[in-house]
Structure 1
Amino acid sequence: MRRKEGVAPQLADALGVILGTEEIPLRLRAWDGSEAGPPGAPVIEFRSRRGLRRMLWSPNQLGLSRAYVAGEIDGAGDLFEGFSALSSVGKFAELKAFRPPTIRERIRLVRTAIRVGALGFPPTPPPEEMSVTRLGRKHSKERDAAAISHHYDVGNDFYALVLGQTMVYSCAVWDDETTGLDTAQEAKLDLICRKLGLRPGMRVLDVGCGWGSFALHAAQEYGVDVVGVTLSKEQADLARKRASDAGLADRIEIRVQDYRDVHDGPFDAISSIGMAEHVGGSQIGAYASRLFELLRPGGRLLNHAISWNAGEMPPDPDSFIPRYVFPDGEMLSLTAMIEALESAGLEVLDVEALRRHYGLTLRAWVHNLEENWDEAVRLTSEGRARVWRLYMASSALGFERGLNGVNQILVQRAGGEEPPLRRREWI
């Protein structure tokens, strides 16, 4: 009977053990052509036995991710539909770290692997994981530089395909769902400039400046001088070229430099857009204090950062995103971020939550990647393109479900001008 049904029903049983559910909301298609699961449900293809073997050795999110990155499992349709279905059941729905299988469940998985010929030694992780370095003290300058290089030095041409012409790699600000990505990113950059109260002649520090998009907008539209710092040489090279091409090389200075090594303050304003996630909880207090020291009295800081909204348990540091995407990255709660900024002596002027905006932004990036898939693979590798597709699509759903948030916190150092009575100047 099993021979007639094929492999798919046994895969469904194994996947149920891993996910912690008896009801698999997916249609599974196995390498022998057999299928199992609800008709009309999103289809997941198991292209080889190796995908199941990975899950046997890592029966959690990491095993599933490795199999996808290696091309051993794939979605046959809309990736978002498959993720939405998975997120509604079992361990994904519990919003907790994956519970390891019990002894009884492990025996069940081994028996399934034997029946379908998938038993064997653990496969080598895909090279996209092996390139991540975790040597040295966590959040030391050397290790942070290696982590940033892993993520951002993938290739400027690859990022241009995904991010669009603005080259902004953080949450955009959308008027509504029909706003184009480039328009939404320009709106975000201008919103930050207005919140910082930029005026001609000001000197601005952009911490984690990326490819220079905020520096270009601030210098061109508000007449300020900008120092941008990044740990990515590839980002810095392109940012300098963009500044030169725009005729702003005398107004914009881009450095490959750790923010902890910036000693030529004070600055009239500081922007930190999508950078604080790399700092780490153990260093966030020192980060806030350092930026306080670099601000002139009365100067404003805009901290734009992702937050962890799903309760006390943080994301598993040994899961897919820390291993493949953001080594040593840490999402703090909004409360923890505000506490660090206030403890450093900074006064909170405004907090704006942009959670829904990041879901729209990530979906636009996924669309760009899928529309340019062949070119993205040519520029990097199929595995790397799969990492970015998986990370961005799953992150979009994380924001839409409320697991993650993203907040702009505007603070000011005491002294100098009083803050405005109302927020009219930036609303």
Structure 2
Amino acid sequence: MDLSNPAPEVKSAGPEVSAAFEDFMSAFEAFKDANDQRLGELERRGGDALTRDKVERINAALDAQKSLIDELVLKTRRPALGSGGDGFVSDLAAREHKAAFDAYVRTGEAAGLKRLEAKALSAGVATDGGYVVPNETEREIGKRLAALSPIRAISDVRVISSGTYKKPFMTSGPAVGWVAETAARSQTASPVLDELTFPAMEIYAMPAATQTLLDDAAVNIDEWLAIEVEAAFAAQEGTAFVTGDGSGKPKGFLAYDTVAEGAWTWGKLGFVATGEAGDFPSANPADPLVDLVYALKSGYRQNGSFVMSRRTQGAVRKLKDENGQYLWAPPTAPGAPPHLLGFPVFEAEDVPAIAANSLSIAFGDFKRGYLVVDRAGVRVLRDPYSAKPYVLFYITKRVGGGVQDFDAIKLLKFAA
């Protein structure tokens, strides 16, 4: 059974990516040797400070090398935007919209977009709300967000045209039973439905440009906009999808009520305790991770993923099983995630680090467990006045999110 969610294949990774990946694997081998030495010293005489420092330095180097690989792989996955090749827009109306939008961004000329608005209300909005970016620019922004935002990349994503997405969910099915061919059938109970509501909230970024840059015909405006907003949007989304309180932003999965797995009920997320506050247990430290994996039903577990911060992954990287094998396995290829107990691991820095009573590791089928809702359309409002001589671009999109299946995500709580 394939228990992983492999990342998209990276074609023609190039010498930079290959070299970085080889350095990463070499660093991991050095980490295992140093950590084995540290564990041996702990058994003999309580450990040596120099060895501990060496392990932590290599651990930090592994994180840095993994970040470099991710950055290089991300560059190889970015398609070029433009008016030719794969970016060619065959539809006449779309080409007209793209040309009008380009003129608006470069010079502030909005007459073309206003004509489109008169022809089709979906092409633009009133000037105080900005104008909708071309379709290919919106798709590029979405691709970049998926690459940078770990929760968006592994969650279910729906595009809507209204402000709210409502989803009925069956919390308990109709009662069923066995009956003989000619026996009387008693009436079965009706299914219990719960309506989940996911409003789309507004997120914005405000990059600046010089008029000289905008006047340069060689500058690809679509790609420039996508690059400028990707980091800002991804950082805000990443935080909201993990810890957002649902007030003016998506509701993160850690913002829901939690309960011990043995007392789990619909509407709450179940957790498994490590048995020791702020740490793994000293005896059999991997047992809580195994318990966490098997707290999830098999239908969800086959597509399960771990989500944790970089610091927590550094702690997990040191754990071994009863046979002395490391539980954490490095990526098998550039762009692929590392694995823990055979399941992919995704870093989300907004998940809290290990501390007393912290919920520092999540495991589940996020595709079924968490829903990201995107309102169609990314809007741009040009402001050449507020920060002269720079031109500001107020870029907004609407996004929501929340747990859609409370049985699909489980948490590890570092508590007694």
TM-score when normalising by structure 1: 0.25
TM-score when normalising by structure 2: 0.25
- Structure with max Cα Rg: 2
The structure in which a higher percent of residues are strand is 2
Of structures 1 and 2, the one with the larger relative CO (CA 8 A, separation 6+) is: 2
The structure in which a higher percent of residues are helix is 1
